[in-house]
Amino acid sequence: MNRGQKRRKSDQPASAAATKIIQAAVRPDCSAAELGELAQSDPAFALRVLSVVNSPAFSLSRKVDDVRQAVSLIGVRGLRNLALSLVVSDMVPMGEAGRVLLGNSLRRALAARALGIALGERRADGHFTTGLFLESGLLARARDDAAGAAEVAMSPAAHRVVRERADGHVPHPVAGAKLAEEYMLPPETIEAIKHHHDAEMPDAPAAKVAWVAERVAAVFEGGATSAAKEAAISAAGQLGVAEAQVETILKELPAEVSDAAGAFDRDVGEQADLDSLILDANRTLVDLNGQYEALIRKLETVIAEKEQLEQQLRQANAQLEADSLTDSLTGLPNKRALGEALTRDLSRADRESQHLSLVVVDVDHFKKFNDTYGHATGDVVLESVGKMLRDCVRAGDVPARFGGEEFVVVLPNTDPAGAKIVAERMRTRLEQLEVPGPSGALRVTASFGVASVQGPGCGKKQQELFERADAALYEAKRAGRNNVKLAA
């Protein structure tokens, strides 16, 4: 089989065997023997397993020529990571865009593994898988927009999230974390993917390694190479990796990326070493980088303005919603809000077999205030009544303006006797209130009708509750006003 045939074959999925291995490996009782059988069930997948296991990408100490032997050496976790690696590599499109995207993904994977080894971790293959998934959000975008994903991948690493947000795309750390959840990766891996572009180093160990690996890979991916190298060394220092170890990782990384791509039957093109990048950057990229930095600052400003506008819009919508539920004169909930609150509290009373009481309040002879002193004074009277009602109720009660000079108070978990006490307190407080008028203090009174219901079944008695409270209110008016009547 020639090279062109191999490339066409690699455009196919890693087969159902990889997916089955991933699903099986998350079970606590899964054995290496079971995974070996799954790997052998698809000859094409088995060959790819052996190819990767024997490549520098996997770093086994000796060559393996049998799938069962490979599984026994790398174990359940190792084979699962290998299957995940093949799945990620198969997400990469063909062509120039694919070479860029795969190169970036492998660079992060190999950097993460190298950092794990530098930290003395015995099993650094988990860091390799996590690193490979760091760019998976861009790989997912590449399914529909390979050119757009590659354009982001070719921009300086530190600026990619800004570009994605400016273009209206979901940032690739968020998209990659979601993809990792679908593949049932461990929570620490998902967090590492989600936070690898954060401004500060995350707290979790796996996330720390991924965060530093992102900065090591960034040295080779555009922008000011020397500055990126200093940032990588500084980040590695926070992790506990010495500068000399970082220098070694940076020196070996280009060749390792090429070798690893070959193991996946792909070509990532020539990988420039660090010295060549620095020389090239010194010659041609200084002015370009300055222009790009200015562009990024502009984009960041645009994004900040956009986010500020979105926040203002959310606040405006919230205010509109609040206004639609609030009486503009008294500041109390309006008739619509009252209906929603009463429906909610009646349902609760029904579920919990509690009482609920309703107090209907009508200002006595309100028309005379408008006719004698004018509507402005009438408004002052209504505002004063609203304030009195607010002052007389508990936090969970709902005083509302029903319309005109009529008010309603919902009293959850209140029986008839308790509701009558509350209504009498309101009546007395209002009777004692001095409302300012054009010619001195005005005396205001009101009539109160009280009705109660109790679950179960009270959730359907809203209309009946209103009718009984209204009937009690009219009885209070017929009795001479300025009193409280309880519905039968």
Q: What is the pLDDT of residues 413-445, one digit of tens each?
A: 999 999 999 999 999 999 999 899 888 899 999
The stretch 76-91 carries a mean pLDDT of: 68
The alpha carbon dihedral of 140, 144, 148, 154 has a sign of: positive
CA distances (Å), origin 432, targets 3, 179, 366, 442, 445: 97, 67, 17, 10, 9
The stretch 25-54 carries a mean pLDDT of: 68
Going by pLDDT thresholds of 50, 70 and 90, the confidence category of residue 8 is very low
Region of poorest pLDDT, from 280-294, 431-445, 462-476: 280-294
Region of poorest pLDDT, from 104-108, 131-135, 304-308, 365-369: 304-308
Region of poorest pLDDT, from 7-21, 182-196, 263-277, 436-450: 7-21
Write out the catalytic residue numbers: 405
The alpha carbon dihedral of 235, 241, 247, 248 has a sign of: negative
Q: What residues does each domain of the chain span?
A: 92-299, 335-486
- Which residue from 340, 344, 346 is spatially nearest to 358, judged by alpha carbons? 346
The stretch 234-260 carries a mean pLDDT of: 88
Angle in degrees, CA 169, 174, 177, rounded to 5: 140
Tell me whether domains 92-299 and 335-486 share a fold.
no
The stretch 273-285 carries a mean pLDDT of: 61
**Paired tokens of 430:** 């209002």
Region of poorest pLDDT, from 146-150, 239-243, 259-263, 282-286: 282-286
Residue 218 confidence (pLDDT) above 70: yes
DSSP 333: B
More confident residue, 163 or 450: 450
Residue 389 confidence (pLDDT) above 60: yes
Could you list the beta-strand ranges (E) of 394-445: 398-403, 406-412, 434-437, 440-443
Give the whole-angstrom CA distance, residue 417 versus residue 219.
77
Residue 341 confidence (pLDDT) above 80: yes
Residue 59 confidence (pLDDT) above 50: yes
Region of poorest pLDDT, from 75-89, 369-383, 417-431: 75-89
- Which residue from 382, 371, 451, 383 is spatially nearest to 411, judged by alpha carbons? 451
Give the whole-angstrom CA distance, residue 482 versus residue 363.
9
What was the pLDDT predicted at 429?
A: 95
Mean confidence (pLDDT) of the chain: 81
Going by pLDDT thresholds of 50, 70 and 90, the confidence category of residue 6 is very low
The stretch 273-284 carries a mean pLDDT of: 62
What was the pLDDT predicted at 294?
A: 61
The stretch 138-150 carries a mean pLDDT of: 85
- pTM score, two decimals? 0.52
Region of poorest pLDDT, from 286-290, 365-369, 449-453: 286-290
What was the pLDDT predicted at 207?
A: 92
What was the pLDDT predicted at 155?
A: 80
More confident residue, 103 or 383: 383
Residue 288 confidence (pLDDT) above 80: no
What was the pLDDT predicted at 423?
A: 96
What was the pLDDT predicted at 10?
A: 37
Could you list the beta-strand ranges (E) of 281-386: 355-363
The stretch 271-291 carries a mean pLDDT of: 60
CATH fold group of domain 335-486: Alpha-Beta Plaits (3.30.70)
What was the pLDDT predicted at 40?
A: 66
What strands lie across the sheet with 398-403, from one edge to the other? 398-403, 406-412, 355-363, 446-454, 484-486
Residue 57 confidence (pLDDT) above 60: no
Residue 452 confidence (pLDDT) above 90: yes
The stretch 163-179 carries a mean pLDDT of: 86
CATH fold group of domain 92-299: Hypothetical protein af1432 (1.10.3210)
The β-bridge relationship of strands 355-363 and 446-454 is antiparallel
- In the numeric block, the tokens 């750390």 are attached to 173
Residue 4 confidence (pLDDT) above 50: no
